[in-house]
Amino acid sequence: MPASDITWHEGAVSRAGRAAVTGGPGATLWLTGLSGSGKSTVATAVEERLVAGGRAAYRLDGDNLRTGINADLGFSRDERLENCRRVAEVARLFADAGLVAVVAIISPYAESRDLARRIHAEAGLPFVEVFMATPAAECAVRDPKGLYAKSAAGSLTGFTGIDDPYEVPEAPDLAIEPTTPVGDAVDLVLAALARATD
């Protein structure tokens, strides 16, 4: 069926109506950074704080999504771009539903992050890009998944930040330094969310 034969079907519930039962308006928090930069740690804490405060939220973790919706994708440039496109579309749906989508995904290419922002802008939904500004050397020391060690040993190739590029965000909405305690990072992210949804 050609795309010209597909029609968006509007529902009967407004965003304001959904926000009334989800604790606030929907939005997407997009945490980007190298493996080991703290994305998942901060995203988990942000989700926990939001839900504890009565705000509907759901964490979309890059690795988790690769076990399901993105399980068919590898790590070539095109597949990484498609990985991020799918995540951005899912996040947009969650945000439209009145949840705060807390995305933790490397998203190494500026093209992907720009597309995610554009998808939300076209839908009239808040989007906050959070750059976890932990350098590769520090991530390699942390190495929570042992991936840097595998890369150094030559058993892992195409690893972002080592032998595959990571394009540092030029103008993120928020940058979190590696020395920032998790609780303080959560405060910063939630403050950015508040600004975006005011």
- Where do we find the tokens 């030559």? 154
Q: What separation in angstroms does the CA of 84 have from each of 52, 71, 136, 174?
A: 28, 13, 21, 19
Q: Point out the catalytic residue in the list 37, 107, 112, 151.
A: 107
Residue among 100, 115, 110 nearest 56 (CA)? 100
Task: Please answer whether residues 132 and 33 qualify as being in contact, where contact means their C-beta atoms are separated by less than 8 angstroms.
Answer: yes
Task: Please answer whether residues 95 and 125 qualify as being in contact, where contact means their C-beta atoms are separated by less than 8 angstroms.
Answer: yes
Q: Which amino acid is at 78?
A: D
Catalytic residue list contains 107: yes
Q: Which amino acid is at 142?
A: R
Query: What amino acid positions are annotated as catalytic residues?
Result: 107
